[in-house]
């Protein structure tokens, strides 16, 4: 059979060998190290079980790849965008430069034009002044009579000259008028002003630039006006272009600013969300710590142990069909109302990629209470006495009780209720009387935390013994402080110091040696050191600052439950919180009732029990179990409902234990079309048997049902085999091997069928029979009687006849017969004749003689024993 190394399998799975080893350990598949090998059958189981993880991992890898690709794409896009931004910025820069240089050029030109205009103006003024002077000189030289007409003609000449000059001026210098663009854009102005505005320059002149004088208007100059329109249009276009540009830039700037502010807003929002998520995470963590579970479990969907397919579907909010389908694929077909094993629930949840938390009945029956610290008041410590057998636990408890009783009041111990209370220095200590760690651990296993302090009894003459160590370990696991009572100190061979030294090795270190544990030397027998021990317990409990809220409905744990003939169910409870009153409606496990009467440890009737008080109560509907949690309900209907609900759940669970396939049910399952695979785990004493079976199975018709040997090995049927079979709905077939004790128990619990055979063909027959839906009853040989051959004689036609005496039972004519000579079977066949005297008979009883002939056997000898037997069909029990 092929084998795979764990390390290479882990590699295939894309996980570390360590992780895979962890999974294997969970599946109870034996694997020593990463270099160990796994059978093929195990590999397929591992693959099946890990399928959800592997798929998830593949999906993760896929997602990571995609994320990488997306990141790459995003980066490329970002680069492209950056390049585009760079290009646009460069373009904008170029545009700006161009605009600036244009403006500069225009300004320069304007300045030049203005200077030229000024110069021209100056020159004109100069000219006019010079002409004025000339005229004045001429006027003075001309006689007064004809001076009028001559003067007029001169003036006309001058006017004509001025006209020419003006014309020249306009033609030479179309100096642009630096007028504000806003004014030029105002459409309310008249045509004149519009025309004026049309002469505005493309770019406004710098502020400090001197404004050129306005050009004189001339409506008659048509040609000049056309020229003006052309330039004006160009100027307007240039201006509009630059305006558009400015607007565009402004818009872009606004957009950018908005983007930045949205970005900031988004960032702020993201930060707020992050903080909220973090706070929620922290809250979750705190809650998880408070409940003693991992934060992941907080997210998980919670279902009760033994949940049915339908309930699981509802809890996971998926269709029941989906779950049934998955179960079918897992090889465990179940119907809607059948309950599922924890393994199956986890497998299905994994398959669906969901977190699930299975709530055990203990967890389900636990209540969580919250008390305001202001309501808490000190309460007495609850102490459990533990120690090795015969080290004096019972004696010590007796001595303590005796001390307490005599100390408080006369009357002695009248009743023992499984717990006791003693008073010392006006303070009370409660002792859980059931000594030994079984009670303690059993309670703890049920989630009951009743003990505040453990008194570890160690006999000074015996020292640390195995149960002492166990008690230490249990106390430490429960985080309960230990006070050591070194007992039997009265004995001459007592060596309390040796006890101290030995305990140091186990981390129990005396205070006087710098450790945490208080030690007291006592003698339970002589009552020595008991007060000292009680005071030490009080000291230890002071450190613990034990408190509880007495002003609320009571809750706590059942210490003991029993059925009393006269009084009915009786339970001893320890109140952890609140105050219990007679008449309270109470639920404990699956029991409920009203507290009819309450007795304190001294057997006195009491009306109330406060935190740390043990009381015996009457009135429950049934006997609760030790460690069951109890609580009082305001309304007894609620109490009854809860108890009923729990009882019903327990019953359903019992009925619905997961059903696995058996050879007998195989045909039914097949005909319902629910099963197509018959999985086998084969264990044998020799490899040859496994091979022979595999061979034979291989030859069977597998058209209707496929037979898979999911695991085979030489050796006894182990727990691991059962786990594997349970997980894969397989039948365990054993040849010449038996299940180990624990494996049998587990198989019973898991309802896994184990079939053991000593002959291979029987197994093959069974499997084949199961396959075709017929499981034949077993054939058994039953000895009917035996006869002794006393004589032989020959009879014509009939052959050799033996004269016999029937010594045992009754031999029938139809029986088969075995001829035994000197302890060896020499022939097996059937009777040919059976006669008494001359008559053929059907049977002969013990004590009678008869003549017997055996078919095809003529070698009967005197002294032979003829054993008669029948083959009967016996209905199979396995």
Binding-site residues from annotation for GTP = 387-394, 433-437, 487-490
8 A C-beta contact, residue 581 and residue 608 = yes
Whole-number minimum distance, CB 522 to ligand GTP, in Å? 7
Residue 771 · residue 705 · CB < 8 Å: yes
CB of 397 to ligand GTP, least distance (A): 8
Q: 462, 391 in Cβ contact below 8 A? A: yes
User: Residue 395 or residue 753: which is nearer to ligand GTP going by CB?
Assistant: 395
Considering only CA atoms, which of 658, 453, 638 is closest in space to residue 540?
453
Q: How many CB atoms are closer than 10 A to CB 471?
A: 30
Q: Smallest gap, in angstroms, from Cβ of residue 386 to ligand GTP? A: 9
Q: Which residues are annotated as a binding site?
A: 387-394, 433-437, 487-490
Q: Which residue has the tokens 């359903």?
A: 652
Task: Output 464 or 599, the one with its CB closest to ligand GTP.
Answer: 464
To ligand GTP, the closest distance from the beta carbon of 541 in angstroms equals: 23
The alpha carbon of 722 is separated from its chain's Cα centroid by a whole number of angstroms, namely 25
Cα-trace Rg, the chain: 55
Do the Cβ atoms of 850 and 835 come closer than 8 Å? yes
Q: How far apart are alpha carbons 543 and 653 in whole angstroms?
A: 44
Q: Does residue 537 contact residue 546 with C-beta atoms inside 8 Å?
A: no
Residue 521 or residue 689: which is nearer to ligand GTP going by CB?
A: 521
642 burial class (0-12, 13-18, 19+ CB within 10 angstroms)? middle
Nearer to ligand GTP by Cβ, of 189 and 490: the residue is 490
Contacts of 511 (CB under 8 A, 6+ apart): 517, 518, 519
Report which DSSP code applies to 700.
S
Q: Which residues contact 693 (CB under 8 A, 6 or more apart)?
A: 682, 684, 709, 733, 735, 760, 763, 764
| Number of other CB atoms surrounding residue 806 within 10 Å | 22
Least Cβ distance, residue 640 to ligand GTP (angstroms): 39
Q: Which is nearer to ligand GTP, 448 or 524 (CB)?
A: 524
Whole-angstrom distance, CA of residue 782 vs CA of residue 248: 112
Distance of alpha carbon 617 from alpha carbon 615, whole angstroms:
6
Helices 147-172 and 40-141, axial angle in degrees (round to 10): 170
Minimum Å gap between C-beta 623 and ligand GTP is 24
Minimum Å distance from CB 605 to ligand GTP? 30
Find the shortest distance in angstroms from Cβ 403 to ligand GTP: 14
> In Å, how far from its chain's centre is CA 506?
36
Minimum CB–partner distance for residue 513 and ligand GTP (Å): 23
Minimum CB distance to ligand GTP smaller for 182 or for 389: 389
- How far apart are alpha carbons 316 and 742 in whole angstroms? 35
How near is the Cβ of 527 to ligand GTP at its closest, in Å?
Answer: 9
Q: 534, 506, 505, 502: which is closest to 518 by C-alpha? A: 534
Nearer Cβ to ligand GTP (525/821): 525
Q: 3-state DSSP call for residue 740?
A: coil
CB of 402 vs ligand GTP, minimal distance in Å: 13
3-state helix vs strand vs coil in the chain, percent to 5: 45, 25, 30
Cα–Cα dist 711/40, whole Å? 7
Q: How far is the CB of 428 from ligand GTP (least distance, A)?
A: 23
Q: Which residue is nearest to ligand GTP (CB)?
A: 392
Asked whether 486 and 533 are in contact (CB, 8 A), the reply is no
Number of H helices, E strands in the chain: 23, 32
User: Nearer Cβ to ligand GTP, position 181 or 529?
Assistant: 529
Q: How far is the CB of 395 from ligand GTP (least distance, A)?
A: 3
Residues 34, 2 contacting (CB under 8 angstroms): no
Nearer to ligand GTP (CB atom), residue 23 or residue 402: 402
- Bridge partners of residue 711, in order along the sequence: 681
Binding site for ligand GTP (CB under 6 A): 387, 389-395, 435, 487-488, 490-491, 523-525
Q: Nearer to ligand GTP by C-beta: 393 or 683? A: 393
Q: Which is nearer to ligand GTP, 360 or 394 (CB)?
A: 394
Closer of 326 and 488 to ligand GTP (Cβ) = 488
In 3D space, the residue among 455, 501, 457 whose CA is nearest the CA of residue 480 turns out to be: 455
877's tokens? 């029990």
Rounded to a whole number of angstroms, the minimum distance from the CB of residue 419 to ligand GTP is 16
Q: Which of 53, 29, 45, 38 is nearest to 2 (CA)?
A: 38
- Residue 370 CA to residue 349 CA, distance in Å, equals 32
Q: Which is nearer to ligand GTP, 178 or 435 (CB)?
A: 435
Give the position of tokens 């305990």.
503
DSSP line for 376-441: -EE---EEEEEESTTSSHHHHHHHHHHHHHHHH-SS------SEEEEEETTEEEEEE---SHHHHH
Closer residue to ligand GTP, CB minimum distance, 526 or 671? 526
């Amino acid at each position: 059979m092929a084998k795979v190394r764990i390390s290479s399998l882990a590699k295939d799975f894309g996980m570390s060998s360590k992780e895979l080893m962890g999974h294997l350990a969970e599946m109870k598949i034996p694997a020593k190290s990463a270099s160990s090998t796994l059978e093929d059958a195990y590999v397929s189981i591992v693959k099946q079980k890990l399928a959800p993880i592997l798929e998830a991992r593949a999906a993760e890898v896929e997602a990571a790849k995609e994320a990488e690709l997306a990141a790459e794409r995003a980066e490329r896009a970002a680069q492209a965008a950056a390049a585009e931004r760079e290009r646009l910025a460069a373009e904008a820069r170029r545009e700006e430069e161009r605009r600036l240089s244009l403006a500069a050029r225009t300004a320069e030109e304007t300045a030049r034009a203005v200077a030229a205009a000024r110069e021209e103006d100056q020159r004109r003024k100069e000219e006019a002044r010079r002409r004025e002077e000339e005229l004045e000189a001429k006027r003075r030289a001309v006689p007064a009579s004809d001076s009028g007409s001559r003067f007029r003609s001169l003036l006309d000449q001058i006017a004509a000259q001025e006209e020419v000059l003006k014309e020249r001026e306009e033609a030479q210098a179309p100096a642009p008028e630096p007028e504000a663009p806003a004014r030029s854009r105002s459409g309310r102005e008249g045509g004149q002003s519009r025309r004026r505005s049309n002469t505005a320059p493309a770019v406004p002149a710098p502020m400090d630039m001197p404004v050129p004088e306005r050009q004189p208007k001339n409506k008659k100059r048509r040609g000049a006006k056309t020229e003006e329109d052309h330039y004006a249009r160009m100027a307007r276009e240039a201006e509009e272009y630059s305006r558009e540009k400015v607007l565009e830039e402004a818009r872009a700037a606004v957009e950018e600013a908005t983007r930045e502010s949205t970005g900031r807003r988004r960032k702020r929002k993201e930060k707020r969300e992050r903080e909220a998520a973090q706070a929620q995470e922290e809250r979750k963590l705190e809650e998880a710590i408070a409940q003693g579970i991992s934060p992941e479990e907080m997210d998980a969907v919670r279902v009760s142990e033994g949940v049915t397919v339908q309930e699981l579907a509802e809890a996971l909010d998926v269709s029941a069909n989906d779950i049934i389908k998955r179960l079918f694929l897992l090889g465990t077909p179940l119907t809607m109302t059948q309950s599922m094993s924890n393994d199956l629930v986890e497998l299905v949840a994994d398959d669906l990629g969901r977190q699930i938390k299975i709530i055990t009945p203990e967890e389900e029956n636990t209540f969580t209470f919250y008390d305001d610290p202001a309501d808490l008041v000190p309460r007495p410590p609850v102490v459990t006495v533990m120690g090795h057998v015969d080290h004096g636990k019972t004696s010590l408890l007796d001595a303590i009780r005796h001390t307490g009783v005599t100390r408080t009041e006369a009357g002695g111990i009248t009743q023992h209720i499984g717990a006791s209370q003693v008073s010392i220095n006006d303070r009370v200590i409660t002792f859980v009387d059931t000594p030994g760690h079984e009670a303690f651990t059993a309670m703890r296993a049920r989630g009951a935390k009743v003990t505040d302090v453990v008194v570890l009894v160690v006999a000074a003459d015996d020292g640390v013994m195995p149960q002492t160590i166990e008690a230490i370990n249990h106390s430490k696991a429960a985080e309960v402080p230990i006070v050591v009572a070194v007992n039997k100190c009265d004995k001459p061979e007592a060596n309390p110091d040796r006890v101290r030294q030995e305990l140091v090795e186990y981390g129990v270190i005396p205070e006087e040696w710098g450790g945490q544990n208080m030690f007291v030397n006592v003698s339970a027998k002589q009552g020595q050191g008991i007060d000292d021990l009680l005071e030490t317990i009080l000291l230890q409990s002071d450190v613990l600052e034990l408190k509880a809220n007495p002003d609320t409905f009571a809750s706590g744990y059942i210490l003991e439950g029993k059925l009393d003939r006269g009084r009915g169910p009786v339970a001893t409870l320890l109140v952890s919180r609140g105050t219990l009153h007679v008449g309270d409606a109470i639920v404990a496990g699956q029991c409920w009732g009203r507290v009819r009467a309450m007795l304190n440890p001294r057997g006195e009737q009491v009306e109330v029990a406060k935190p740390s008080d043990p009381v015996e109560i009457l009135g429950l509907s049934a006997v609760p179990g030790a460690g069951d949690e109890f609580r009082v309900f305001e309304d007894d209907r609620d109490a009854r409902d809860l108890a009923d609900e729990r009882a019903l759940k327990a019953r359903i669970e019992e009925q619905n234990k997961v059903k696995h396939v058996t050879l007998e049910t195989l045909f039914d399952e097949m005909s319902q079309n629910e099963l197509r695979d018959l999985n086998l785990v084969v264990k044998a004493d020799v490899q040859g048997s496994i091979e022979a079976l595999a061979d034979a199975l291989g030859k069977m018709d597998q058209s209707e049902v496929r037979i898979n040997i999911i695991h085979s090995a030489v050796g006894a049927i182990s727990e691991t085999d059962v786990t594997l079979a349970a997980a894969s709905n397989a039948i365990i077939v054993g040849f010449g091997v038996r299940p180990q004790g624990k494996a049998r128990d587990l198989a019973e619990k898991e309802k896994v069928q184990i079939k053991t055979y000593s002959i291979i063909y029987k197994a093959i027959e069974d499997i084949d029979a199961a396959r075709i839906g017929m499981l034949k009853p077993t054939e058994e040989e039953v000895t009917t009687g035996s006869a002794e051959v006393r004589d032989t004689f020959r009879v014509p036609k009939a052959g050799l006849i033996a004269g016999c005496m029937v010594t045992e039972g009754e031999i029938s004519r139809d029986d088969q017969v075995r001829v035994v000579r000197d302890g060896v079977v020499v022939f097996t066949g059937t009777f040919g004749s059976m006669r008494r005297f001359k008559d053929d008979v059907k049977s002969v009883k013990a004590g009678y003689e008869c003549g017997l002939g055996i078919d095809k056997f003529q070698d009967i000898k005197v002294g032979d024993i003829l054993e008669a037997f029948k083959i009967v069909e016996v209905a199979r029990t396995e």
